[in-house]
Chains A and B, each alone.
Chain A
């Protein structure tokens, strides 16, 4: 299970069980395409917070990828193994909401330049907590 905050380039990636970050990187990048597609498709629903899609269920590594886009085109991608009883939609939504909140907190920091990799410990802790809960 991993999580990634993206602005078309990764701002933050964290994975929990396996540290196969490279794989997650790949997955996230491929999912970005789908996200982009969804964004561009719905012109007015840019404020669609709930951009949730279950896709990329590879036969070998079955996992689900959830996407979420903020108004500033920052994308959150969560990859979960399908092995664990898939999290309910609400849970995923709440996760995204938490992520968004934490992300805004990071943004509020005047010392943080948008576009920098996120190095906030608070953010890390929140993410870790969330991922532990989800697992």
Chain B
């Protein structure tokens, strides 16, 4: 072989070329095919190529050894420069420019050629050179692999060979390996060559190539560095061409996962102006990959599947985690097609040495419309520069997204916006999370809700409720009451309780307050009833449902005739009784009161019922001691106007009752109502109040229905309380004899209500007295105070 002396530049260049041709990694021989391709790329006629081949001795050897290759390259340079091909000239020509090879397709080739022409002594540009090849390696690869199907062998700036996740390191690494391998033959020079080459590349960096920043970022791998620098150093004259040309093309080079060698298909990551843009080819590839995981393109890839998929890329988990964070826009733990493409793209980029951006690049934002930001997100800071407009729009997303997208892209870079968005999206998640947390925490509302629906504001209801209450109060132990709880589901119970308040309100409470206050005792009464089913009332009050629902009933009840209110004033007394009757007797005295009440007929609320009441009360006494109290109250109520002493005693009882009920207010109201009733009782007939009650009475509880007839019968009963008591237990259940029982209970309830109303009034009077005393005491205290201060 002819001796061949190469300049350093040439040396590097040639070695590089050799490496690129050294497909088989023989480190010694460049495959004929590639070499020939390379030679052809030199745009020399075939004859010349043939001649060169002969001259370099490859023909003889049958293959291109390193020396042959170098010779050939030199000859090519000669030929390109127009010099005759002579072996002698190999060493003689000093300023022989480096052989230029045109790679890639068409215009790129032309560009290359142009660039080549322009670039001189700038090191082996050919694949990379003219800025075009900013993906130097890639272009080099491309040159060596003319078969590269990629559209643009010119990776604008980012040439990192993108190897699908399955392939190990990026092509740069492969490239480097290649070189290293190739260096085997020429140890002395080889190591230096790459090193020299790289700096060369580095020098040539012009400004415009935005991708350079990215490249420069890859300091760790020297090869990449050089790649980067190389891109930066394209000849100024040629450079300008490339960026503009590069812009529209975002060629992506990707290496086939199979091999690390340059044979792999390489695509460049999108051009520098938008380094993160995904080319159509890439996108198609991504979509295909997406399909392998999730057939439905509009569907989502679950996080676990995505994890497996991307783990194959052998990136460190931390980076994968970061990629995920960037790409999972809606933070739903799953990837849509756009998200997947973005993630894949980031993986590819990472594998090619690109550092991951802090924020998702705009071009990778999942968008409803695939906006190609060819206009660019040109940021010299390659990685971080991309404004993350956190808008994710998948094809499935609503059309509103695009507009949002626009807004976001306008907003751009703000971390706050990013945060805001993530907050928004995540907040929705968290909101749901919180909501779910909150929801179960309030079972009461859940229980209460159905109640209002059930509750139909009606006078009848309210009256019935009141009656029930009173009846229940009186006859807690009665079987009807006990039967009641079983019948009542939770809702029913609530309904019942609510109804009770309703009825009480209708009975006489003109104020919603009283109504609400009734609810409590009512609920407590109901609770008691429930517990009665057990045996003794225990903590009945605890189960009281929330007051609000019954309110409307109160209004309704209020709307009911005043007569009803008055008449049912006695009923309100009923709720008092539940409070009073803390221990619902187990035995349903219903029969007794029924018997007693029926014959008695419905008496007037106050007075008439007394005797009957008393008669019945003894029956109930053992079971309902409070009833005895009520009877006393009844008597008291009758005597109230004239007997203060009784008032006192009764008030004492009333107080007890009130205490047990825990609602002074209701007591007062009861008393007041009782008072009113007392005034009107004698004159008022129960029949009148009874009449209204029947009207409103409607569906709901059968007790209500039962109450109706009971109400009608009330006027006939003289023993109100007894009747009420009788009706109460009967109200809830047993239909057979229920009517009478209900009626009796209704009467009883009314009577108790009346009594309680009176009691209430008395208590209120006492309260007033006490308040007056208190005021006087306070005044005295104040008088004394100054002295203390002194």
Interface residues of A (CB under 8 A from B): 44-45, 47, 49, 71, 97-98, 100-102, 104-106, 108-112, 119-122, 125-126, 129
Q: Which of A98, A108, A119 contacts B331 (CB 8 A)?
A: A108
Question: Which one of B415-423, B633-641, B768-776 contacts A?
Answer: B415-423
> How far, in angstroms, from A93 to B422 measured CA to CA in the complex?
18
Asked whether B324 lies within 8 Å of A110 as measured between CB atoms, the reply is: yes
> How far, in angstroms, from A121 to B332 measured CA to CA in the complex?
18
- Which residues on B sit within 8 Å (CB–CB) of A106? 325
- Which residues on B sit within 8 Å (CB–CB) of A100? 430
Residues 318-334 (chain B) with a chain A CB within 8 angstroms? 318, 320-322, 324-325, 328, 331-333
Asked whether A125 lies within 8 Å of B325 as measured between CB atoms, the reply is: no
- Which residues on A sit within 8 Å (CB–CB) of B423? 98, 101
Question: Most chain-B CB neighbours within 10 Å: which of A47, A101, A105, A129?
Answer: A101
> How far, in angstroms, from A119 to B322 measured CA to CA in the complex?
9
Asked whether B422 lies within 8 Å of A112 as measured between CB atoms, the reply is: no
Asked whether B307 lies within 8 Å of A105 as measured between CB atoms, the reply is: no
- Which residues on A sit within 8 Å (CB–CB) of B441? 44-45, 47
- Tell me the smallest distance from the CB of B327 to a CB of chain A, in Å: 10
Given A122-B422, A126-B419, A126-B422, 5 other A-B contacts at CB below 8 A?
A: A100-B430, A104-B426, A110-B303, A111-B320, A125-B419
- Which residues on A sit within 8 Å (CB–CB) of B426? 101-102, 104-105
Asked whether A121 lies within 8 Å of B325 as measured between CB atoms, the reply is: yes
Asked whether B303 lies within 8 Å of A101 as measured between CB atoms, the reply is: no
Asked whether A101 lies within 8 Å of B422 as measured between CB atoms, the reply is: yes
Q: Which of B303, B427, B437 contacts A108 (CB 8 A)?
A: B303
Show 13 residue pairs from A and B whose CB-CB distance is below 8 angstroms, ordered by the A residue: A44-B441, A47-B441, A98-B423, A102-B422, A105-B426, A108-B333, A109-B324, A110-B302, A111-B307, A111-B320, A112-B321, A121-B358, A126-B419
- Which residues on B sit within 8 Å (CB–CB) of A110? 302-304, 306-307, 324, 333
> How far, in angstroms, from A111 to B317 measured CA to CA in the complex?
7
Asked whether B415 lies within 8 Å of A125 as measured between CB atoms, the reply is: yes
Main DSSP-derived SS at the A contact region: helix
- Tell me the smallest distance from the CB of A113 to a CB of chain B, in Å: 9
> How far, in angstroms, from A106 to B322 measured CA to CA in the complex?
10
B438 within 8 A of A: yes
> How far, in angstroms, from A31 to B333 measured CA to CA in the complex?
32
Asked whether A129 lies within 8 Å of B437 as measured between CB atoms, the reply is: no
- Tell me the smallest distance from the CB of B208 to a CB of chain A, in Å: 30
- Tell me the smallest distance from the CB of A93 to a CB of chain B, in Å: 12
Asked whether B332 lies within 8 Å of A108 as measured between CB atoms, the reply is: yes
- Tell me the smallest distance from the CB of B330 to a CB of chain A, in Å: 9
> How far, in angstroms, from A105 to B304 measured CA to CA in the complex?
15
- Tell me the smallest distance from the CB of A14 to a CB of chain B, in Å: 16
In the complex formed, the residue of A with least CB distance to B321 is A111
Interface residues of B (CB under 8 A from A): 302-304, 306-307, 310, 317-318, 320-322, 324-325, 328, 331-333, 358, 415-416, 419, 422-423, 426-427, 429-430, 433-434, 437-438, 440-441
Asked whether A101 lies within 8 Å of B325 as measured between CB atoms, the reply is: no
- Which residues on A sit within 8 Å (CB–CB) of B332? 108
- Tell me the smallest distance from the CB of A115 to a CB of chain B, in Å: 14
Q: A71-B437, A97-B430 are in contact. Are A105 and B331 (CB under 8 A)?
A: yes
- Which residues on A sit within 8 Å (CB–CB) of B429? 101, 104
> How far, in angstroms, from A47 to B437 measured CA to CA in the complex?
6
- Which residues on A sit within 8 Å (CB–CB) of B325? 105-106, 109, 120-122
In the complex formed, the residue of A with least CB distance to B419 is A126
Q: A105-B331, A108-B333, A111-B307 are in contact. Are A49 and B321 (CB under 8 A)?
A: no
- Tell me the smallest distance from the CB of B409 to a CB of chain A, in Å: 20
- Which residues on A sit within 8 Å (CB–CB) of B358? 121, 125
Question: Most chain-B CB neighbours within 10 Å: which of A71, A102, A109, A112?
Answer: A109
- Which residues on B sit within 8 Å (CB–CB) of A121? 322, 325, 358
> How far, in angstroms, from A105 to B433 measured CA to CA in the complex?
13
- Which residues on A sit within 8 Å (CB–CB) of B317? 111
Asked whether A108 lies within 8 Å of B328 as measured between CB atoms, the reply is: yes
Closest 4 CB pairs of A and B: A110-B303, A47-B437, A110-B307, A111-B321
Asked whether B437 lies within 8 Å of A49 as measured between CB atoms, the reply is: yes
> How far, in angstroms, from A42 to B433 measured CA to CA in the complex?
20
- Which residues on A sit within 8 Å (CB–CB) of B427? 97, 101
- Which residues on A sit within 8 Å (CB–CB) of B304? 110
In the complex formed, the residue of A with least CB distance to B422 is A105
- Tell me the smallest distance from the CB of A97 to a CB of chain B, in Å: 7
Asked whether A109 lies within 8 Å of B303 as measured between CB atoms, the reply is: yes
> How far, in angstroms, from A102 to B421 measured CA to CA in the complex?
12
Asked whether A47 lies within 8 Å of B321 as measured between CB atoms, the reply is: no
- Tell me the smallest distance from the CB of A20 to a CB of chain B, in Å: 27
> How far, in angstroms, from A108 to B425 measured CA to CA in the complex?
12
- Tell me the smallest distance from the CB of A69 to a CB of chain B, in Å: 11
In the complex formed, the residue of A with least CB distance to B306 is A110
> How far, in angstroms, from A102 to B331 measured CA to CA in the complex?
10
- Which residues on A sit within 8 Å (CB–CB) of B333? 108-110
Q: A108-B328, A108-B331, A110-B333 are in contact. Are A119 and B434 (CB under 8 A)?
A: no
- Tell me the smallest distance from the CB of B589 to a CB of chain A, in Å: 40
Q: Which of A104, A112, A120, A125 contacts B430 (CB 8 A)?
A: A104
In the complex formed, the residue of B with least CB distance to A128 is B415
In the complex formed, the residue of B with least CB distance to A47 is B437
- Which residues on A sit within 8 Å (CB–CB) of B322? 120-121
- Tell me the smallest distance from the CB of B384 to a CB of chain A, in Å: 11
Asked whether A47 lies within 8 Å of B430 as measured between CB atoms, the reply is: no
- Tell me the smallest distance from the CB of B471 to a CB of chain A, in Å: 36
- Tell me the smallest distance from the CB of A98 to a CB of chain B, in Å: 7
Asked whether B430 lies within 8 Å of A109 as measured between CB atoms, the reply is: no
In the complex formed, the residue of B with least CB distance to A100 is B430
- Which residues on A sit within 8 Å (CB–CB) of B302? 110
> How far, in angstroms, from A101 to B429 measured CA to CA in the complex?
8
In the complex formed, the residue of A with least CB distance to B358 is A121
- Which residues on A sit within 8 Å (CB–CB) of B416? 129
In the complex formed, the residue of B with least CB distance to A122 is B325
- Which residues on B sit within 8 Å (CB–CB) of A111? 307, 310, 317, 320-321, 324
In the complex formed, the residue of A with least CB distance to B302 is A110
> How far, in angstroms, from A45 to B324 measured CA to CA in the complex?
34
> How far, in angstroms, from A102 to B328 measured CA to CA in the complex?
13
Q: A101-B427, A104-B426, A111-B320 are in contact. Are A47 and B438 (CB under 8 A)?
A: yes
Asked whether A129 lies within 8 Å of B415 as measured between CB atoms, the reply is: yes
- Tell me the smallest distance from the CB of A16 to a CB of chain B, in Å: 17
Asked whether A109 lies within 8 Å of B434 as measured between CB atoms, the reply is: no
- Which residues on A sit within 8 Å (CB–CB) of B306? 110
Question: Most chain-A CB neighbours within 10 Å: which of B302, B422, B430, B441?
Answer: B430
